[in-house]
A and B are shown apart, each in its own frame.
Chain A
Amino acid sequence: MKERLIKIYHGFGLPRLIISVFLLALIIVAAGTELSVPGLLSDALVRIGQNGIYVLAMVPSIQAGAGLNFGLPVGVIAGMVGVLVAMENSLLGFGGFVVALLVAIPLGIIAGYLYSLLLNRVAGQEMMVGTYVGFSVVAGMCIFWLMAPFKNPALIWPVGGQGLRVTLTLADTFGGTLNEFLKFEIFGLTVPTGLLLFYALLAFLLWLFLRSKPGVAMEVVGRNPRFAVASGLNINAYRSVGIVLSTVLASIGYVVYAQSFGFAQLYNGPLMTAFPAVAAVLIGGASTREAKVLNAIIGVVLFQTLLTVAMPVTNQLIEGNISEIARVIVSNGMILYALTRVTGGEQA
């Protein structure tokens, strides 16, 4: 029994244990205030489903040896275009959601493939190059949003008739489609069934892929490229597979995020998307070289619950909005820790 507990403890890891205990303490504190614990947890569930796919997107890129995908905005942009196309045509409900995905996924594949061609040429420096490619794409798209040929008055500035608005609401189109699907309430806890199911489906598909022949090949390429070559594998091809998968997940992730959040924030909105996702997968126990689907799931659950619960609780205790700052410190601290960990012969 004791041995089993120790094994579980080692599998889970100290950082996650500390965060879990801290979370539990927060929830207990919350119960002591006038806050509704089920309400907080309901919010947490929504945010887990909303951000989970971004965190999943880290897994294939790490496993393919390209490190943490700081270039997540490359995929997010494709998702944005998908959402905008659906909104432009005023598609409602599931129709809108599906069309958004149908536009986002092929765009994500193209963008991811181009992005992978670049990353394959800068192997060893993917994270830094990825960060600034992501930033550049976001900045470049700002110009695109201003000049894009969208006509639907709900999308564009009322004055001048050109240029997309900064914040668009999805309430009238397909906002909440997934969240509302099969939604139920239990002990005051609202469960966004559709959202969580969709997330679980993607996690399962990714897990399945990693167990398939190409998935295994991709992992080998990431873990030891020289071994992979000696086993007859094409390194760049499998790295591209990982990066494309990551990018496509980011595209899908954005569509899901937007429908759940209820708003699409254009322009500089997606600039820092990668950082919380990177932090979450690291919190879940991944490193810059090794990540499992389980790390992504544990990570997003802990990180997002922490943020959702911590904000109102601390607001009860001290004045002011500390959650944003806590997010910045926790996520960047976690990334810093992962980057400075000594790992034999590792490259960025």
Chain B
Amino acid sequence: MNQVKKFISKNAVPILFAIVCLLGVYYAQMPGQFLLMEIVKRMARNSFLVLSLIIPVVAGMGLNFGIVLGALAGQVALILSTHWEWSGIGGLLLTALLATPMAVLFGILAGMVLNKAKGREMITGMVMGFFANGVYQFIFLFLVGTVIPFENAALRISTSPGLRNTVNLTRIRGALDNIWTVQIGFTKVPIVTFLVIALLAIAIWAFFKTKLGQDFRAVGQDRHIAGVAGIQTDRNRVLAIVFSTVLAAWGQIIFLQNIGTLNTYNSHEQVGTFAIAALLIGGASVTRATIGQALMGTFLFHLLFVVSPSAGQAIFGSAQVGEYFRVFVAYGIIAISLALHAWRSRSLAKARLKEDVSA
């Protein structure tokens, strides 16, 4: 009985959302086949991005709102690969390879900036994402075609500067997904994509069993103590952000090969918010995140996403309500997690003082 209680209190957030999702599913009255198809598609698309958030959380840097930088690196690589007409799985791998050094560079820069803003990593990461987005738009909306010569009918309309608003990624669409699919009912399950996600999950799990992973964990718990023990805290923090940024770049490439079109100026904007919301719905917090939470969260969040409009229609007579509701949930869950974290760390500090005194 106690164990049940413990399980519930430990997993209160995912359980709550599971209930909300079940209600949604019930009211939405969607055909099961359609629901399954949507969920499989969305899990394949998003899981990698959500998993990319785990390492910085464990390294004590909170939710990495800066994964937008990684997503941008992935997109830049995709734009270039489209330009050079790379195609198929080979093209996709080459694109990922191309994105990697860019993501490493962005990660190092971001890590250095975050080291200057200790204790404010999350807001700094978020603003950094907005800033990088501005620079990205400046480059691809203005410089390309005016300062940077770039002629390609697939990417540009020659009469105005900048890239097209949407770019068709025909050459690499489904390059990963379609290698091997298994049909379940109407649902095509992209086996290779799920294998890649599983591989990443295993890699993260194994990573935390290594010396470097242990160092990240130590830095995440207490910078000062880890530093006294001789661990290079700042360096480890930068490294954690680099890992996260590179994974986000790959994650964005996987995401876009699934979607098939690049929304040049908007595709990446919500990457951070939605991935973070998914992770939190899985029961993670600012200081604790596991692979299971990431995957469970991705599942629940996207289930909610799929059923919200229809449920809104059924309950309130307006699909719009459902659409706004899911956005509200995404922001709300982040706000609540952040507040709870700040609240807890304050009372924890107080409790620690008390302990010292009573000792």
Contacts and interface: CB of A to CB of B under 8 A. Distances in A.
Touch test A–B (CB under 8 Å)? yes
Interface of A: 70, 118, 121-125, 127-129, 131-133, 135-136, 138-140, 142-143, 146-147, 163, 267, 275, 318-320, 322, 325, 328-329, 332-333, 335-336, 339-340, 342, 347-348
Given A129-B342, A140-B328, A340-B116, A320 B162 contact: yes
Most buried by B among A132, A328, A342: A132
Interface string B113-145: 100110110111011101101110110011000
B339 A121 contact: yes
Contacts of B334: 132, 135-136
A122 B160 contact: no
A261 B331 CA distance: 28
A124 B346 contact: yes
A328 B130 CA distance: 7
B310 to A, nearest CB: 16
Given A135-B334, A328-B137, A333-B131, 19 more contacts: A122-B343, A124-B342, A127-B123, A128-B338, A129-B342, A131-B123, A136-B331, A138-B331, A319-B146, A319-B160, A319-B161, A325-B137, A329-B135, A332-B127, A332-B131, A333-B134, A336-B127, A340-B124, A348-B120
A133 B337 CA distance: 11
B342 A322 contact: no
A131 B343 CA distance: 16
A76 to B, nearest CB: 15
Contacts of A147: 316, 318, 321
B124 A339 contact: yes
Contacts of B130: 275, 328, 332
B-side interface size class: 35 or more
A92 B120 CA distance: 46
Nearest to A327: B134
A317 to B, nearest CB: 11
Interface in B313-359: 316, 318, 320-321, 324-325, 327-328, 330-332, 334-335, 338-339, 341-343, 346
Contacts of B346: 121-124
Nearest to B343: A121
Nearest to A288: B120
A108 B84 CA distance: 55
Contacts of A319: 146, 160-161
B218 to A, nearest CB: 23
B154 to A, nearest CB: 20
A139 B324 contact: yes
A257 to B, nearest CB: 22
B320 A163 contact: yes
A135 to B, nearest CB: 4
A339 B146 CA distance: 34
A143 B312 CA distance: 10
Contacts of B120: 127-128, 339, 347-348
A275 B131 CA distance: 11
A318 B328 contact: no
A320 B141 contact: yes
Given A136-B335, A318-B146, A340-B113, A332 B134 contact: yes
B332 A136 contact: yes
Nearest to B332: A136
A118 B339 contact: yes
Contact of A325 (B141, B160, B320, B338): B141
Contact of A146 (B119, B318, B330): B318
Contacts of B330: 139
B58 to A, nearest CB: 19
B113 A336 contact: yes
Contacts of B160: 319-320
Contact of B331 (A123, A135, A335): A135
Contact of A143 (B128, B161, B324): B324
A328 B141 CA distance: 14
18 contacts: A70-B123, A121-B343, A121-B346, A127-B123, A128-B122, A128-B338, A132-B334, A133-B335, A139-B330, A318-B161, A319-B160, A320-B160, A320-B162, A328-B130, A332-B130, A333-B134, A340-B117, A342-B116
Contacts of A332: 127-128, 130-131, 134
B316 A329 contact: no
A139 B332 contact: yes
Contact of B131 (A123, A336, A348): A336
B128 A336 contact: yes
A267 B116 CA distance: 36
Contacts of A320: 141-142, 160-162
A285 to B, nearest CB: 19
B148 to A, nearest CB: 13
B278 to A, nearest CB: 15
Contacts of B127: 332, 335-336, 339
A325 B138 contact: yes
B353 to A, nearest CB: 14
B97 to A, nearest CB: 30
The 4 closest A-B pairs by CB, nearest first: A122-B342, A328-B134, A125-B342, A132-B335
Contacts of A128: 120, 122-123, 126, 338, 342
